[in-house]
Amino acid sequence: MVSKLDKYTPLIKTALDKAKENDVYAIIRLQDYKNFNVDILDGRTEYKSAAPIKGMGISVFTKDGAAGFASTDRLDEESVKKSVDEAVIDMAKNSTKYEGIKRNTEIFEVESLNGEYLQSTKYDLSSKNSNEIEEIVRSLNKEAKTLDDRLMVKSSYSCVDETWRIARSDGTDVTYNMPISRLLTYLILNEEGKIVQTYFKVHGIDLGVILDEESKHVYSKKAKHISSLVSDLINAGAMKGGNYKVLLSHDFVGLNAHEAVGHAFEADWMKSSIFGLDGKLRKGEKVAPDNISFIDGPLEGFFGNQFISSNGVKRKTVEFIKNGVVADALSDVFSAKEVGVGINGCARAQTYANIPICRMSVTLMVDNNPYPFEKTSLEDVTLDEIYELLVKHDELKMGEKIVYPVVGMGGQVNPAEGKFMFNCAGIYLIENPKKITLYKQAVFIGDILGAIATRSKGIGKICPGDTGTCGKNGQGAPVSDGGNMLFIIDKTKDITFGGEQ
Amino acid sequence: MKSIKTLSEKLNDYMVRNDDLKISQWLFTFGEGKSISIGMKENEIGGPYMPPSSRNEYGGSVYIRWADGTISNSIINSETLENMDTTIKEWKALSYQNIFAPEVIDPLPIPLDLKIKDNKLVEITEKDKDYLFGILKFYKNKLSKKDYTKLLTIHASVGHEYNTVLNSKGLNVEWEETGISTWVSVNNMAGDSYSKRKIPEKEDLKKIIKEIDRYMIHSKNVVQMKSDKMLIILTPGVLADFLDHYVKNNLQGGLVANNQSIFRIDDFKLKRQVFDENISLIINGLKDYELSTVPCSSEGVPSTKQYIIADGRLITPFLNLKYSKKTGMSPTSPGKVGLEIKTKTSYNKLLHGIDYGLVVYDVMGMHTQNNTTGEYSIAVGQGLLVENGEIKGKIEKASIKGNLFEALKNKNTKFADYREDEIAMLTEADVTV
């Protein structure tokens, strides 16, 4: 197969030769990014665009490990040579005259890698023209609108075809792709001076998200569920803040894996992370119940999957908490030794002009021995049925309160202080199968160590969770998450719901 | 620049064709620039995650109205300019109908004498590779000796860019701009920044140290607090986050025009009172050396100074040409948007007026909040407990819940000058710990 980046082979050679001439080791990153976006508001096209991006990033390392970087979006010989000179002479070599410069020579020891690691997609972005895609999104938009005419429906569809080629001075020359596709549907109810807005997503890696019958079926079920939720939320009150027993759907289980735990295992943050001690991972420490593991790694077909790191190293599956014990970190070439783990290939860069940093890709929270559950979708089960199931498994006493957040709105973490937060569009307080009250959005904040040490139990098989763009150091990366279909977490002082006092 | 001339000539050629690629109007922006940066990550300068870096950027955006009434939006990169005929066909393939798609505008008087370039920054970007290391050294010397400092992270960057906005009606605005940005973070807890179009004075950098001191001297004294309804102070950075997320988002023309905002277009036409008369919101597109100061918007709308909210009354949403057409109101200026408060008090007076409350220095998860209602329920990232008007210490965790729109209507909400051009706000909120 001929890669679309093959034509840049002479330019890559120019960059590597120029680096050799300057007596430095180089990592060349070539990015070819194409996206297509269309926004439909109540059946009308609001915006349609494509944004092709191409460019080259050049990381260089002097023999004693001083680093420099340069980038250019002009892919011609003169610009590339100039950029290598800037990275080497103006940046890396100039910096060595300063005291306290960080040096890292780990890249010199890494094995070279060659080949193409392409995720196969069912549909190529060019298999439909922009007008055909626009019309399909319009019909999906109209379908949601027909559920409740009071609703304003905005559909934002985005499909990305992104390919990278990484070449290094050691002969590494590897190509990988990162296709993503997502239909985000916002439902807005604006009446009598009150506004409620929430959304649902269907996601994947290609146009199948809007073309395949299975995906359209998921879309229809979510549209019905969320339109009904929006209607209920318009008159919802505020819940009383405090500590509650919590039931999490797989969307929130995944959000928990990503925000509350995963970030604190990113090796480039280990000096300040609560899972680090003097910069080393606190390997072997028991931090969670025996039944709980947290895993991140490449999963073909998942939104945000990346087989190869931005430094040209294969990405490994990382079980960072295994059976409740700290086991590994999301490391890359430059952080692995310092942190005390192997190289797991977790470096990602948003664009050719960014420096790769340690990132998650697809992150899961897993119960190794969950309660069985025959349902395949939470849209097929009611809250009173779930409550009764929990009572049956002695996870709840009849009449015991439990909260169930719906529609994850994202979260944030401070790995240094061990604090995290999530938000939700609404939250159900279930007091018994007949008394279920919906409240409006409530933030939940927590202490990472206390929250993951709390007893928790998974229910059902592993399901994909939420998708999104994770922000770190000013860079965005497409990520997804997931876990068992449901998780129940005991009441703890370390997870607090904000609310009225 | 030769490439700009070539692109505009090519687009003009397509205006006299007689096929489906006939263009009726075009507009494009183009920029060419360079930036350099350097960082110190957790006490170490440079390294693989914050190496000294140089970035060259070349490109822009394009808007086309085709003769058949459709429009296209795309971006321009170096390959666009190499294969213009192919690219124009690709742009046409992306075209769509929108009844509110605007005409490009006739050239208007543009303020070209703005202070947006500092020759010293041009020199630093192009030649003086050592200046940014000097900034790092300054911060390191000042902060690494403080007893609270464990991990120091610093970033500094400068840039120099040429920009152009052209359209088929003869608009042709060119300008040269510079920028410098530097921020400091201590222990991933407290930080501050300087971002302008001119080189900072020593005093500007000293203010950053002073601001970090203000929080960090309390950081070792962790105190417990109780859940209650109480007075809280939103420090300027936090208040700016709240205003951006709730107020400015709801003032976006697209949301107002499409009935997705709490404000309706008639509210502006009737100048409805939405906040206390003490509060105004102003765009200042002419302010010297602000990063957001430019001669005109990317559509050619001239920069000026104008009220968005005056004395608590809605004047105009932020409008680009499309939503200007849809709402029938004039497009708004680009530029820095800030609060203008008629009656303020001193920050110390604000603090001393609190019997039991919280000073919020950082919030976590603003992006997760539903911005249409003004309601917030958000985690406090960094906060200090106040008792009897005095700071008692740093709190471990808390969430705050309230409604910003209600707070901005409330006469009991108070404002204070915190630093030059920076305002803090005192309001009441439910605090849960």
pLDDT at B1: 66
Residue numbers in B near A313 (CB within 8 A): none
Residue numbers in A near B38 (CB within 8 A): 95
pLDDT at A2: 53
The C-alpha angle with vertex B63 and arms to B114 and A157, in degrees rounded to 5, equals: 115
User: Is A108 touching B (CB cutoff 8 A)?
Assistant: no
B376: nearest Cα among A428, A229, A443, A233: A443
Of B364, B370, B396, which has the smallest distance from its Cβ to A421's Cβ? B364
What is the Cα–Cα distance from A161 to B165, expressed in whole angstroms? 30
pLDDT at A94: 85
State which H helix or E strand residue B11 sits in: helix B2-15
Q: At what angle do helices A9-21 and A77-85 cross, to 10 degrees?
A: 30
Q: Give B427's contacts (C-beta < 8 A, 6+ positions apart).
A: B231, B232, B234, B402, B407, B410, B413
Q: Are B293 and B287 in contact (CB under 8 A)?
A: yes
The shortest C-alpha distance from B200 to chain A (Å) reads 22
Domain ranges in chain B? 2-215, 221-239+344-432, 244-341
Q: B347: buried, middle or exposed (CB in 10 Å: 19+, 13-18, 0-12)?
A: buried
Q: What confidence category does residue A108 fall into, taking pLDDT thresholds of 50, 70 and 90? A: very high
pLDDT at A367: 97
Q: What confidence category does residue A501 fall into, taking pLDDT thresholds of 50, 70 and 90? A: low
A321: nearest Cα among A205, A423, A453, A496: A453
Residue numbers in A near B89 (CB within 8 A): none
Best of A337, A443, A492, A496 to disrupt the B interface by mutation (most B CBs within 10 Å)? A443
Q: Are B155 and B37 in contact (CB under 8 A)?
A: yes
Q: Are B299 and B321 in contact (CB under 8 A)?
A: yes
Q: Are A247 and B405 in contact (CB under 8 A)?
A: no
Residue with tokens 């690219």: B87
Q: Give B334's contacts (C-beta < 8 A, 6+ positions apart).
A: B283, B285, B292, B294, B296, B297, B301, B303
Q: What share of chain A is helix, strand, coil (3-state, %, to 5)?
A: 25, 40, 35
B201-260, pLDDT tens digit by residue? 999 999 999 999 999 999 989 999 999 999 999 999 999 999 999 999 999 999 999 988
A45: nearest Cα among B252, B63, B98, B101: B98
State which H helix or E strand residue B156 sits in: strand B152-167
Supply B332's token pair.
Answer: 């708004």
A33-59, pLDDT tens digit by residue? 999 999 999 999 999 999 889 999 999
Instruction: Name the DSSP letter for residue B57.
Output: E
CA distances to A136, A449, B107, B431 from B395, rounded to whole Å, are: 51, 17, 55, 12
State which residues of chain B have pLDDT below 70.
Answer: 1
DSSP string computed for A455-466: -EEEEEEEEEEE
Backbone angles phi, psi at A498, to 5 degrees: -75, 150
Residue numbers in A near B229 (CB within 8 A): 501
Instruction: Name the DSSP letter for residue A381.
Output: S
Of B75, B94, B140, which has the smallest distance from its Cβ to A130's Cβ? B94
Best of B53, B99, B153 to disrupt the A interface by mutation (most A CBs within 10 Å)? B53
What is the Cα–Cα distance from B293 to B303, expressed in whole angstroms? 8
Residue with tokens 């990346």: A306
Q: What confidence category does residue A377 fall into, taking pLDDT thresholds of 50, 70 and 90? A: confident
β-pair type (A475-489, A456-472)? antiparallel
pLDDT at A104: 96
Q: Give A323's contacts (C-beta < 8 A, 6+ positions apart).
A: A290, A291, A292, A293, A368
A11: nearest Cα among A67, A117, A84: A84
Q: Are B225 and B294 in contact (CB under 8 A)?
A: no
DSSP string computed for B35-52: EEEEEEETTEESSSSS--
A27: nearest Cα among A87, A73, A74: A87
CA distances to A191, A206, B265 from B314, rounded to whole Å, are: 20, 44, 10
A156-180, pLDDT tens digit by residue? 999 999 999 999 999 999 999 999 9
The C-alpha angle with vertex B389 and arms to B384 and B394, in degrees rounded to 5, equals: 15
Q: How many CA atoms lie within 13 A of A109 on its CB side?
A: 11
pLDDT at A88: 87
Instruction: Name the DSSP letter for residue B21.
Output: T
Q: Is B44's CB within 8 Å of A91's CB?
A: no
Q: Is A195's CB within 8 Å of B365's CB?
A: no
Coil, strand, or helix at residue B60?
A: strand
The shortest C-alpha distance from A254 to chain B (Å) reads 16
pLDDT at B368: 87
Average pLDDT over residues A147-161: 95
**Of B402 and A126, which is predicted with more confidence?**
B402
User: Is A194 touching B (CB cutoff 8 A)?
Assistant: yes
User: Is A343 touching B (CB cutoff 8 A)?
Assistant: no
For residue A1, is pLDDT > 60? Answer: no
Q: Is A59's CB within 8 Å of B48's CB?
A: yes
Topology at the third CATH level for domain B2-215: PmbA/TldD fold (3.30.2290)
Q: Is A241's CB within 8 Å of B78's CB?
A: no
β-pair type (A444-447, A495-497)? antiparallel
Residue with tokens 């005192």: B426
- For residue B305, how far is the Cα from the chain centroid? 16
Q: Are B250 and B375 in contact (CB under 8 A)?
A: no
Best of B377, B395, B401 to disrupt the A interface by mutation (most A CBs within 10 Å)? B377
What is the Cα–Cα distance from B397 to B378, expressed in whole angstroms? 11
For residue A193, is pLDDT > 90? Answer: no
E runs forming strands in A210-289 = 246-249, 276-277, 280-281
pLDDT at A96: 86
What's chain B's Rg over C-alpha atoms? 24
A455: nearest Cα among A290, A244, A232: A290
By C-alpha distance, the chain B residue nearest A86 is: B54
Domain ranges in chain A? 6-233, 246-497
Residue numbers in A near B259 (CB within 8 A): 152, 190
The shortest C-alpha distance from A362 to chain B (Å) reads 20
A245-271, pLDDT tens digit by residue? 999 999 999 999 998 899 999 999 999
Coil, strand, or helix at residue A449?
A: helix
By C-alpha distance, the chain A residue nearest B362 is: A414
What is the Cα–Cα distance from B157 to B163, expressed in whole angstroms? 19
Q: Are A482 and A262 in contact (CB under 8 A)?
A: no
Of B74, B129, B189, which has the smallest distance from its Cβ to A90's Cβ? B129
Residue numbers in B near A48 (CB within 8 A): 73, 94, 96
Average pLDDT over residues A206-212: 97
A425-465, pLDDT tens digit by residue? 999 999 999 999 999 888 888 899 999 999 999 999 999 99
The shortest C-alpha distance from A483 to chain B (Å) reads 21
Q: Is A443's CB within 8 Å of B36's CB?
A: no
Q: Give B20's contacts (C-beta < 8 A, 6+ positions apart).
A: B66, B68, B92
Of A41, A45, A417, which has the smallest distance from its Cβ to B97's Cβ? A45
| ipTM greater than 0.95 | no
What is the Cα–Cα distance from A250 to A463, expressed in whole angstroms? 6
Supply B221's token pair.
Answer: 């004294």
Which CATH class for the A6-233 domain? alpha beta
Q: What confidence category does residue A117 fall into, taking pLDDT thresholds of 50, 70 and 90? A: very high
